[in-house]
Amino acid sequence: MKDYKLVLAEILANVVEMKKEDIEDLIEVPTNKDMGDFSFPCFRFAKILKKSPNAIAAEFAKKIERPDFIEKIENVNAYINFYLDKEELIKTVLDKVFDEKENYAIEQKKDKGNIVIDYSSPNIAKPFHIGHLRSTVIGNSLYRIFEAIGYKCISVNHLGDWGTQFGKLIVAYRLYSNKEEVENKGIEELLRIYVKFHEEAKKDPSLENLARENFTKMEQGDEEALSLWKWFKEISLKEFERVYDILGIKFDSLNGEAFYNDKMDAVIKELDAKNLTKISEGAKVVEIEDMSPCLITKKDGSTLYATRDITAALYRQNMYNFQKCIYVTALAQNLHFAQFFKVIEKMGYKWAEDLVHVPFGMVSMENGSISTRNGNVLLLEELLTEAINKTKQIIKEKNPKLENKDKVAKEVGIGAIIFDDMYNNIIKDIHFSWEKVLNFDGETGPYVQYTYARANSVFCKSGMKIEDIDNNIDVSKITDELSMALIKEIGKFSDIIQEAAAKYEPSIIARYVVNLAKSFNKFYHENSILVDEPNLKKARLSLVVGAMYSIKNALWLLGIKAPKQM
């Protein structure tokens, strides 16, 4: 919204002995709307002026020149409260909404520079389960949020397609499977033999050594090992793409860990040349103060996770010249990121400070933590299918005549899952519960989508075309509190996106869109929209359409569709 705060600070600076920047910091938005749109607390002047805060506030309040956009200035105790002029406020918000229309609050220019976002990044040869969902939907949302404030984003799916696990898989394949089984059953068979490997390795630890040997062979370019690896990777990618399609997510780069195989040598040499490496217990490490050392190579010379991440960061900086490089991974990986960010800093690269780890909490199942090895997993597709089926059932009950039932059920069911994942601060752990995730009442994705569908429905019944709805309305027609509350909520959208970006927190968008939907539902409940009086009808329809643009775009920022009917 227009920067009223700044203007108020300038006006206050004429009365209060303080820099306008400091005044601006002091001005706050009251928690209770009865106390105005902005308020200025005067407690801190008591000491200097040797008067009571209440007296000071009263004195200041008298001296302030009221600007046009302020309807009323009121002194309550130690506060000076400012009430925005309603007509001014309506005009300001609607001007912006109808100037930008379907792009409302979403910046179209991408001229602030590049941001690389590394997310999803599942491990090849393991099925896509609900544990992978978080990184995927959070990363996708951050991508859209940063694009919405004017950055060009590059999404990277840093596939876990390299590492000792492939040594394990190769061993497991040779011992427990064959070509036909893998071709027929795909990733399911790969999972089976992976689990089997871990069972057997408990009894016979030499299998682990065999696995390591096979990975080393891969790193040395052994053709047989590599062709198996390639085959496993293709099978996995097919499955992942199916899941990404359902979620509507695309990546700009699929450069996984293997992509950096031929680029790590140069980086290790650079580390050596900068005198950062040491040999410790046979491994090559970079020592870091106040942290355990970062391992660069194992004693057999093969590389590790950190080696590939350091190499990838250097490559990305070189390739994209990023303003930020964001990693969306579990909180449990905190140390790893702290370590390799520090290594890059030690290498003398100033852009190390542009590397950002966005950590999220763990998902656990009702019967303990998720473990692919133990088979305690819920496949994402199973969850999505369940949600879609539940939605179909509800549609059958509530809106049996709906067209495109399947399409809508898909959008709503998936919306429910995505929304649920991002409604709380991402740092919170999630204890998965069918009951919770399949509840579509209250503060949920379907609630917001339903609100949108209602708004669309009433708009359609008006018989107006979208072009007929604009900001050219009789502002005096809108007077009630609920309409004003809706306008204010719509007007907040841009600030909310800024906040979500600054905090790397999609839940801020999710919370916002729920408040917006609540606001709309109250407005809708109390005010008839399709009234006879044409000017009133037009004014109210402007609010309906403004709410629709806002809800649709906010859902889009979360990666959720807004069906027109449901």
Binders of RNA in range 320-379 (CB under 7 A): 331-336, 361-362, 369
Task: Rule CB under 7 A: choose which of 257, 354, 421, 489 binds RNA.
Answer: 257
Residue type, 519: S
Q: How far is the CB of 369 from RNA (least distance, A)?
A: 6
Q: Which is nearer to RNA, 114 or 136 (CB)?
A: 136
Q: Are 361 and 331 in contact (CB under 8 A)?
A: yes
Helix 493-503, helix 507-526: angle, nearest 10:
160
- Residue 43 lies near RNA (rule: CB under 7 A): yes
| Closest CB 289 distance from RNA, rounded Å | 12
Binding segment toward RNA, per CB under 7 A, in 103-111, 170-178, 310-318, 446-454: 446-454
Residues 6+ apart with CB under 8 A from 207: 168, 171, 197, 200, 201
* H or E element at residue 396: helix 380-398
CA distance 354 to 378: 35
Query: What is the enclosing helix (H) or strand (E) of 391?
Result: helix 380-398
Q: Site for RNA (CB under 7 A): which residue of 210, 254, 283, 356? A: 283
Stretch that binds RNA, among 7-15, 192-200, 299-307, 553-561 (CB under 7 A): 299-307
Residue choice 103, 389, 457, 535 for contact with RNA (CB under 7 A): 457
Residues 506-535 within binding reach of RNA (CB under 7 A): 507-508, 511, 514, 518, 521-522, 524-525, 527-530
Is residue 239 a contact partner of residue 127, using CB atoms and an 8 Å limit?
yes
Look at residues 46, 36, 123 and name the one whose alpha carbon lies nearest to residue 83: 36
Whichever of 178 and 393 has its CB closer to RNA, that residue is 393
Interaction of residue 441 with RNA, rule CB under 7 A: yes
Whole-number Å distance between alpha carbons of 187 and 239? 8
Nearer Cβ to RNA (183/199): 199
Amino acid at 3: D
State the nearest-atom distance from the C-beta of 335 to RNA, in Å. 4
Q: Candidates 7-15, 340-348, 371-379, 439-447: pick the segment binding RNA (CB under 7 A).
A: 439-447
Which of residues 114 and 316 has its CB atom nearest to RNA in the complex? 316
Q: Which is nearer to RNA, 110 or 424 (CB)?
A: 424
- Quick one: 224 or 429, whose CB is closer to RNA? 429
3 state SS for 523-538? HHHHCCCCCCCHHHHH
Residue 67 contacts RNA per CB under 7 A:
no
Closer by beta carbon to RNA, 155 or else 303: 303
Residues 6+ apart with CB under 8 A from 191: 125, 126, 127, 372
The one among 5, 16, 39, 355 contacting RNA by CB under 7 A: 39
Q: Which stretch binds RNA (CB under 7 A): 12-20, 28-36, 101-109, 350-358?
A: 28-36
Q: Which residue from 125, 142, 295, 377 is in contact with RNA, where contact means CB under 7 A?
A: 295
Cα separation, 104 vs 116, in Å, equals 25
Kindly state the number of chain residues that form the binding site for RNA, as judged by CB under 7 A. 99
Task: Give the alpha-carbon dihedral of 43, 49, 51, 57, to 10 degrees.
Answer: -50
Backbone angles phi, psi at 158, to 5 degrees: -80, 75
Tally of helices (H runs) and strands (E runs) in the chain: 22, 13
Token pair in block for residue 519: 């606001």
For residue 37, report the phi and psi dihedrals to the nearest 5 degrees: -95, -30
299 binds RNA per the rule CB under 7 A: yes
DSSP 467: G
Among 127, 131, 139, 163, binds RNA (CB under 7 A): 163
Q: Using the rule CB under 7 A, which residue among 4, 23, 27, 36 binds RNA?
A: 36
Q: Which of 3, 17, 32, 275 binds RNA (CB under 7 A)?
A: 32
237 forms part of the interface with RNA (CB under 7 A): no
Phi first, then psi, for residue 327 (nearest 5°) are: -115, 115
Question: Torsion angle, CA of 341/343/349/354, rounded to 10 degrees?
Answer: 0
Between residues 155 and 277, which has the closer beta carbon with respect to RNA? 277
Q: Determine if 66 is a binding residue for RNA (CB under 7 A).
A: no
Least separation in angstroms between residue 412's CB and RNA is 5
Helix (H, G, I), strand (E, B) or coil at 73: strand
Q: What is the 3-state secondary structure (H, E, C) of 294-351?
A: EEEECCCCCECHHHHHHHHHHHHHHHHCCCEEEEEEEHHHHHHHHHHHHHHHHCCCHH
Using CB under 7 A, pick the residue from 461, 474, 480, 481 that binds RNA: 461
Nearer to RNA, 249 or 296 (CB): 296
Ranges within 143-162 binding RNA (CB under 7 A): 160, 162
Distance in angstroms between the alpha carbons of the first and the last residue of the chain: 32
Segment near RNA (CB under 7 A), from 35-43, 59-67, 98-106, 179-187? 35-43
Q: Which of residues 392-421 bind RNA (CB under 7 A)?
A: 394-395, 398-399, 408, 412
Q: Rule CB under 7 A: choose which of 176, 443, 485, 536 binds RNA.
A: 443
| List 44, 63, 230, 407, residue binding RNA (CB under 7 A) | 44
Binding-residue pattern over the window 87 to 126 for RNA, x denoting contact by CB under 7 A: ------------------------------------x---
Greatest pairwise CA separation for the chain in angstroms = 88
Per CB under 7 A, contacts with RNA among 531-550 are: none
386 binds RNA per the rule CB under 7 A = no
Specify the residue, 150 or 359, whose C-beta has the smaller distance to RNA.
Answer: 359
For residue 299, how many other CB atoms are within 10 A of its CB? 11
Q: Which one of 61, 70, 117, 285 is in contact with RNA (CB under 7 A)?
A: 285
In the list 134, 454, 492, 561, the residue contacting RNA (rule: CB under 7 A) is 454
Buried b / exposed e along 36-72 (16+ C-beta atoms within 10 A): bbbbbbbeebbeeeeeebbebbbebbeebeeeebbbe
Closest approach, Cβ 513 to RNA, in A, equals 12
In this structure, what token pair is assigned to residue 445? 């994705």
